[in-house]
């Protein structure tokens, strides 16, 4: 018996090797397709609506901030946790000379930075001597952006803060 007839009779044991490469490429294509699907159908990355229009109004925003700085009002905020996802927000409002400002109407809007439709508003009550208190019930723990709107004697101030609710 010759060697050539023996080799031809036995099937090749390495026929599976090309199929491993094909299977490997199919796995890569499937994973890439899944990742592309998640990327297309998930968060868009936009943190604001109408970013182009808001960018065009940037100079208006600068003038608004300068007008607020001329008021000289200062706001110090503190969150005192009283429950699992609730607490009191205490504000101290003072003027340029650190004198307390009474008679202000203050509201705060709480919003999640990465999740829309969770906004809620809290009205503040005067506690005397430029101090204001509002109670907040948070639907979820985590980070919340707060926008304070303060109105007094026809003037207004808008301030922003970020708090974390555990």
Residue ranges of the chain whose pLDDT lies below 50 = 1
Instruction: In whole angstroms, give the CA distance from residue 62 to residue 66.
Output: 6
pLDDT of residue 31: 98
CA dihedral angle for residue 101, residue 102, residue 103, residue 104, rounded to 10 degrees: 40
pLDDT of residue 6: 55
pLDDT of residue 2: 53
What is the domain partition of the chain in residue ranges? 13-41, 51-165
The class that CATH gives domain 51-165 is mainly beta
- Apex CA 126: angle with CA 87 and CA 98, to 5°? 100
pLDDT of residue 3: 55
pLDDT, tens only, 53-99: 888 888 888 888 888 888 899 899 988 888 888 889 999 999 989 99
């Amino acid at each position: 018996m010759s060697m050539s007839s023996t080799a031809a009779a036995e099937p090749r044991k390495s026929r599976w090797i090309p199929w491993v490469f094909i299977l490997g490429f199919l796995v890569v294509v499937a994973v890439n397709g899944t990742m592309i699907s998640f990327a297309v159908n998930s968060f868009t990355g936009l943190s604001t609506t109408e970013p182009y229009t808001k960018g065009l109004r940037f100079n208006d925003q600068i003038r608004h901030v300068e007008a607020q700085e001329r008021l000289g009002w200062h706001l110090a905020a503190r969150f005192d946790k009283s429950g699992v996802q609730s607490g009191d927000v205490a504000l101290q409002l003072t003027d340029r000379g650190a004198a307390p400002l009474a008679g202000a109407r203050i509201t705060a809007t709480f919003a999640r930075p990465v999740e829309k439709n969770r906004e809620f508003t809290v009205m503040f009550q005067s506690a005397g001597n430029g101090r204001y208190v509002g109670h907040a019930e948070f639907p979820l723990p985590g980070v919340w952006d707060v926008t304070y709107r303060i109105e007094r004697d026809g003037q207004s101030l808008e301030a922003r803060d970020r708090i974390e609710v555990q």
